[in-house]
């Protein structure tokens, strides 16, 4: 007779734990209690050991850790498709920033983030790293959706309708963090926007805070050649060298994009233990370029995957980013064996968790970790035959194949349907914002 009563057992045709590397488990099961993974083993052994209050059978599915979206601007989902097919700075200066100046408010951020959370959960994303205005509203929306979130405390050197100056941005962000310290699904990052929007004095304040309260620093870096040219003209050095001199290169740094790197800069990121958030779709759509991911991985840099915002992607779809990341790494390096499927899955899970300092909590299917899990069905006509489920995850499946998603052991998507989310209400709200933004 089973000895221990627990909350949930999930049996799956395949389980890919991510740790250890390269492992695919056949006909295994995960035992979950109190939101945490308490065992992982063959289905017969788990059945003999536990008496679950709920048993979920996934006979043609692969179970993986929940995906970690290492960089996004969730509320910008309400700006999806607003000004497509433009270079980055023209897109920002002529369209996005003016629209934000007119419309961004706490309600805008809550509504846009709620829409983004629903989209991400349906695509298997259980944790996202955000950077936007009104972080309290983003935190509230994430909590309402039941998704894990790292909320960025954004900093600019220009005023907005959210804050007047860098000190005001930081003060408001820290206040939002203080109000949410008791929320286990929330963590926080300091989020100075970019070297071209943040001055040296503000970077120094961000660094001091990061060291005092042990937070990651989430920063756009080397996204475009224009960014680098402007830095050379203004500061006499490339942006990475500038932030190195300011002391920001460290294991706390999450460098977003890093499209344009020379060999010495890759060495710098590796030597200082920095992480990179690779956003392939956004980099392609804005014609920023292709990041040297194979070179970063070869030097031991921790790489995670991000979608960027829906305004520059236009999807919050990490499965698509996995496929693009693998293909672009091969094309740029000229090696078909560069960045294989297991490596890309690790980027989308444990790589992102590690960058956020959450690798002891999520990112792999290991005993003691929280049960952030994603089930992908492989019973679609377009997915037969299946010789390697990890290859299928990276090169074949789409987010429409995500069947079930759990965050801290709680079901958030079941049989492809959102739990506790009013899809019709989200769509209605999005249409109301569309009418305001572009009547």
Q: What is the 3-state secondary structure (H, E, C) of 73-137?
A: CHHHHHHCCCCCCCCHHHHHHHHHHHHHHHHCCHHHHHHHHHHHHHHHHHCCEEEEEECCCCHHH
The runs of H, that is alpha helices, within 286-359 are: 293-298, 318-333, 341-346, 352-355
Rounded-to-integer distance, Cα 181 and Cα 28, Å: 36
Rounded-to-integer distance, Cα 412 and Cα 123, Å: 11
- Cα angle value 170/171/177 (rounded, 5°): 85
Smallest CA-to-CA distance from 194 within 101, 129, 131, 102 is with 131
Smallest CA-to-CA distance from 326 within 301, 290, 357 is with 290
Q: What are phi and psi of 285, to 5 degrees?
A: -65, -35
**What are the pLDDT tens digits along the chain (439 aa)?**
557 999 999 999 999 999 999 999 999 999 999 999 999 999 999 999 999 999 999 999 999 999 999 999 999 999 999 989 988 788 888 999 899 999 999 999 999 999 999 999 999 999 999 999 999 999 999 999 999 999 999 999 999 999 999 999 999 999 999 999 999 999 999 999 999 999 999 999 999 999 999 999 999 999 999 999 999 999 999 999 999 999 999 999 999 999 999 999 999 999 999 999 999 999 999 999 999 999 999 999 999 999 999 999 999 999 999 999 999 999 999 999 999 999 999 999 999 999 999 999 999 999 999 999 999 999 999 999 999 999 999 999 999 999 999 999 999 999 999 997 789 999 999 999 999 998 5
The predicted pLDDT at position 1 comes to 53
Domain residue extents for the chain: 4-65+371-408, 67-355
> How far lies 9's CA from each of 13, 31, 113, 146, 278, in Å?
13, 5, 31, 20, 34
Q: Which residues contact 298 (CB under 8 A, 6 or more apart)?
A: none
- Tell whether domain 67-355 is in CATH 3.20.20.140: yes
Is the separation of the CB atoms in 415 and 400 below 8 Å? no
Rounded-to-integer distance, Cα 266 and Cα 274, Å: 10
Is the separation of the CB atoms in 158 and 194 below 8 Å? no
Is the separation of the CB atoms in 72 and 401 below 8 Å? no
Domains 4-65+371-408 and 67-355 belong to one CATH topology = no
Q: Which residues contact 198 (CB under 8 A, 6 or more apart)?
A: 155, 156, 157, 166, 192, 206
Rounded-to-integer distance, Cα 97 and Cα 307, Å: 20
CATH of domain 4-65+371-408: 2.30.40.10
Rounded-to-integer distance, Cα 177 and Cα 351, Å: 24
Q: What is the DSSP string of 234-267?
A: HHSS-HHHHHHHTT--STTEEEEE--S--HHHHH
User: Residue length, the chain?
Assistant: 439
How many other CB atoms are there within 10 angstroms of residue 268's CB atom?
Answer: 19
Strands 253-257 and 402-407: unpaired
The predicted pLDDT at position 422 comes to 84
Q: What is the DSSP letter of 370?
A: B
The predicted pLDDT at position 2 comes to 58
The predicted pLDDT at position 111 comes to 98
Smallest CA-to-CA distance from 131 within 162, 103, 90, 102 is with 162
Given strand 67-72, what is the order of strands in its sheet? 67-72, 125-130, 148-155, 186-192, 217-221, 253-257, 275-278, 302-305
Is the separation of the CB atoms in 188 and 213 below 8 Å? no
């Amino acid at each position: 007779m089973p000895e221990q009563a627990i909350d949930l057992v999930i049996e799956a045709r395949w389980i890919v734990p991510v740790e250890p590397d390269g492992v695919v488990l056949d006909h295994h099961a995960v035992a979950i209690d109190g939101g945490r993974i308490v065992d992982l083993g063959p289905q017969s052994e788990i059945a003999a050991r536990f008496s679950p209050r709920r048993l979920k059978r996934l006979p043609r599915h692969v179970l993986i850790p929940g995906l970690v979206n290492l960089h996004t601007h969730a509320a910008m989902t309400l700006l999806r498709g607003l000004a497509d097919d433009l270079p980055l700075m023209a897109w920002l200066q002529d369209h996005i920033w003016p629209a934000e100046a007119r419309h961004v408010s706490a309600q805008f951020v809550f509504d846009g983030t709620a829409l983004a959370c629903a989209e991400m959960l349906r695509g298997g994303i259980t944790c996202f790293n955000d950077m936007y205005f009104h972080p309290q509203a983003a935190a509230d929306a994430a909590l309402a959706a039941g998704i894990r979130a790292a909320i960025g405390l954004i900093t600019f050197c220009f005023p907005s309708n959210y804050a007047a100056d860098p000190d005001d941005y930081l003060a408001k962000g820290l206040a939002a963090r203080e109000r949410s310290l008791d929320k286990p699904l929330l963590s926080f990052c300091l989020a100075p926007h970019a070297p071209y929007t943040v001055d040296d004095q503000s970077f120094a304040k961000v660094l001091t805070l990061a060291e005092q309260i042990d937070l990651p620093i989430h920063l756009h870096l080397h996204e475009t050649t224009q960014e680098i040219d402007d830095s050379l003209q203004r500061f006499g050095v490339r942006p990475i060298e500038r932030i190195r001199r300011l002391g920001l290169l460290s294991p706390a740094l999450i460098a977003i994009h890093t499209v344009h790197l020379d060999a010495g800069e890759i060495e710098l990121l590796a030597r200082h233990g920095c992480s990179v958030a690779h956003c392939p779709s956004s980099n392609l759509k804005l014609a920023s370029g292709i990041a040297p991911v194979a070179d970063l991985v070869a030097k031991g840099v921790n790489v995670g995957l991000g979608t960027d915002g829906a305004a520059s992607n236009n999807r919050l779809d990490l499965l698509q980013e996995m496929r693009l990341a693998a293909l672009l790494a091969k094309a740029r390096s000229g090696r078909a064996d560069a960045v294989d499927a297991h490596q890309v899955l690790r980027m989308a899970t444990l790589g992102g968790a590690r960058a956020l300092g959450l690798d002891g909590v999520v990112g792999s299917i290991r005993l003691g970790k929280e049960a952030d899990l994603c089930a992908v069905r492989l019973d679609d006509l377009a997915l037969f035959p299946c010789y390697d489920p990890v290859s299928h995850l990276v090169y074949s499946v789409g987010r429409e194949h995500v069947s079930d998603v759990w965050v801290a052991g709680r079901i958030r998507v079941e049989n492809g349907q959102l739990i506790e989310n009013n899809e019709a209400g989200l769509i209605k709200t999005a249409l109301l914002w569309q009418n305001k933004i572009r009547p």
